[in-house]
Amino acid sequence: MNEIPVIINRLSQSFLLNCRLFILTLLFALPLGMLIAFGSMSRFRPLRWVMRTFVWVIRGTPLMLQLIVIFFGPGLLNMSFSWPNGEAGRFTAAVVAFVINYACYFSEIYRGGIESVPVGQYEAGLVLGMTKRQIFFNVTLLQVVKRILPPIGNEVITLVKDTALARIIANKEIIMMAGEYSNKGLIWPLFATGIYFLVFVGALTILLDWLEKKLGYFRV
Amino acid sequence: MAFLEVQGIEKCFGNLKVLNKIDFSLEKGEVIAIIGSSGSGKTTLLRCLNFLERPDKGRIIVNNKVIFDASDPTTQRESEVRKKRLHFGLVFQNFNLFPQYTVLKNVTLAAELLARERPDFKQEKKAILKEIQERGKLLLSQVGLSDKLDYYPHMISGGQQQRVAIARALALEPDILCFDEPTSALDPELTGEVLKVIKNLAERNTTMIIVTHEMDFARDVADRVIFMDDGVIVEQGPPEEVFGNPKEERTKQFLTRYNKN
């Protein structure tokens, strides 16, 4: 019986890996998605084509497969690059795969958001002598943020649960940890992992609702 | 030479010629109304004047300075276009107010951004911004919206929004103020308040080009009326002549059709 606190402690420890992966993915994927979005809206056709193909490939294949390719690819292809040994390497590879995957999803949300701002807003800025940069930062951006907040929130919540996929390349995240117990015949830790995700997503939901309310003072 | 000279403007969208050899001039303090059916090129003409479209041919001269010449690329540099735009103001059919800013901020935003380019902005920041604020408030009181300074666009009526848009366009003190069907998106009972504001501006000798479907208003406020059809200026003259005694057959047809509705 006194095993319970030990198990909970180990589950919590392993959930930290999920949290780290979640935060690092957002930190890099949110801005990278912006770059991809601008690329896929570029007037320079080859760039636009490359970016849209890239987004198609990444969104069109399972994240699980991408994790495997990114982690094992360099070794199998005899590339000069290789991931660091051990835990650090597995975790870094997972972050890279997650960032690329989520940046592509974010980029499409950004693109939709930017394209949904009426062209009249842009023209109103132009005739008032604003530069394109000023129009983007002072007129368009906040309207885009307001529009994309709900779909971004959706992706962010999906990301929380997707972090469990990192175990495919042997990252000891919470479900992998719980799986070790269930292999030994102890099933409740697996169920307990659900509570961690629920609490995390609950907190996120409150934060997202708060942000939406903050932007509720105007209408687009 | 007149204050504004528009010479031989032509504009095609693909194979469709929307403006064909447009010539007209405008004196300082004069009000021109442009009438004509939808698709006759009125809006495109205003957009050309505001550099939202680039004419394929022709010249635009303001105050004896060629600000656009289709055959001279040096007049079309992006960096200068921004400044040249400021000769003109444009009030849109759909207002296009910035939804995330208050009424006052809508009016002052562009002026504040422009002020940053002034060499004395860093030292005089407070005074400059205060002056812009005061001017914004004054303009809003002129359009009768002193009590709405802190409202957001979605909280006020369409007519009020359009009056904010007029104040916003005036904030940068354009030489020529253009209106693109300013009352077309409004409920009939709201058009009056907007027209009244424009009439007020006319009485204060604001130089204006007004594209409108309000014939009575055009007749009342304009010094000169231009009738456009199929991308050409069919007829222009004082309102009494164009409305009272049109020379061209197409003008007569248009006005008869209009009176029937």
pLDDT tens-digit profile, chain A (220 residues): 568 888 898 899 999 999 999 999 999 999 999 999 999 999 999 999 999 999 999 999 999 999 999 999 888 887 778 888 888 889 999 999 999 999 999 999 999 999 999 999 999 999 999 999 999 999 999 999 999 999 999 999 999 999 999 999 988 889 999 898 988 888 899 999 999 999 999 999 999 999 999 999 998 8
Chain A residue with Cα closest to B111: A128
Residue A200 pLDDT? 94
The 3-state DSSP class for residue B65 equals: strand
pLDDT at A144: 94
Residue A156 and residue A75 in contact, taking contact as beta carbons nearer than 8 Å: no
From the list A123, A125, A218, which residue is nearest B100 (CB)?
A218
pLDDT at residue A99, rounded to an integer: 97
DSSP letters spanning B154-184: GGS-HHHHHHHHHHHHHTT--SEEEEESTTT
Minimal-distance CA residue of chain A relative to B168:
A128
Instruction: Provide CB contacts within 8 A for B118, sequence distance 6+.
Output: B124, B128
- Among B83, B96, B152, the residue with its CB nearest the CB of A217 is B152
d(CA B46, CA B43): 5
Contact between A143 and B99 using a beta-carbon 8 Å cutoff: yes
Q: State the nearest Cα–Cα gap between A128 and chain B, in angstroms.
A: 6
Interface pTM, i.e. ipTM = 0.91
pLDDT per residue as tens digits for the range B27-36? 999 999 999 9
- The β-bridge relationship of strands B4-13 and B16-26 is antiparallel
Residues of A in contact with B109 (CB under 8 A): 128, 138
- Determine the distance in angstroms separating the CA of B53 from the nearest CA of chain A, rounded to an integer: 11
Tokens (6 digits) for A130:
């604003």
User: Does residue A120 belong to the interface with chain B, where contact is any CB pair within 8 Å?
Assistant: yes
Q: Do residue A128 and residue B172 have CB atoms under 8 angstroms apart?
A: yes
Give the CATH number of domain A3-218.
1.10.3720.10
Which pLDDT belongs to residue A184? 87
pLDDT of residue B261: 66
Q: List CB contacts of A16: < 8 A, sequence separation 6 or more.
A: none
Give me the residue from B110, B152, B153 closest to A128, CB to CB.
B110
The verdict on B100 touching A (C-beta cutoff 8 Å) is yes
Task: For chain A, say whether B83 makes contact (Cβ under 8 Å).
Answer: yes
Q: Look at B92 and A217 and tell me if their CB atoms are within 8 Å.
A: no
Window 39-78 of B: residues touching A by CB (8 A cutoff) are 50-52
Q: pLDDT averaged over consecutive 10-residue blocks of chain B (261 residues)?
A: 91 91 92 91 93 92 90 84 91 95 96 90 89 94 93 94 95 94 89 91 93 91 93 93 90 86 66
Q: Where are the domains of chain A?
A: 3-218
Residue that the structure tokens 């005074």 belong to: B127
Over residues A29-64, the pLDDT tens digits come to 999 999 999 999 999 999 999 999 999 999 999 999
| Interface subset of A 123-142, CB within 8 angstroms of B | 123-131, 134, 138-139, 142
- Is residue B172 less than 8 Å (CB to CB) from chain A? yes
Q: Are A113 and A148 in contact (CB under 8 A)?
A: yes
Looking at the complex, does the CB of residue B98 fall below 8 Å from at least one CB of chain A?
Answer: yes
Look up residue A138 and give its amino acid.
Answer: N
Q: Identify from B88, B96, B184 which residue to disrupt to test chain A contact, counting A C-beta atoms within 10 A and taking the largest count.
A: B96
C-alpha dihedral (B155, B159, B163, B165), degrees to nearest 10 = 70
B88/A142 touch (CB, cutoff 8 Å), yes or no = no
A-B interface: how many C-beta pairs under 8 angstroms? 61
Nearest to A161 by CA among A2, A32, A22, A47: A22
Question: In the prediction, which pLDDT does A34 show?
Answer: 93
CB A160, CB A193: distance < 8 Å: no
Q: Would you call B99 and A219 a contact, using CB atoms and an 8 Å cutoff?
A: yes
AA letter at B208: M
Angle at B116 between CA B110 and CA B122, to 5 degrees: 145
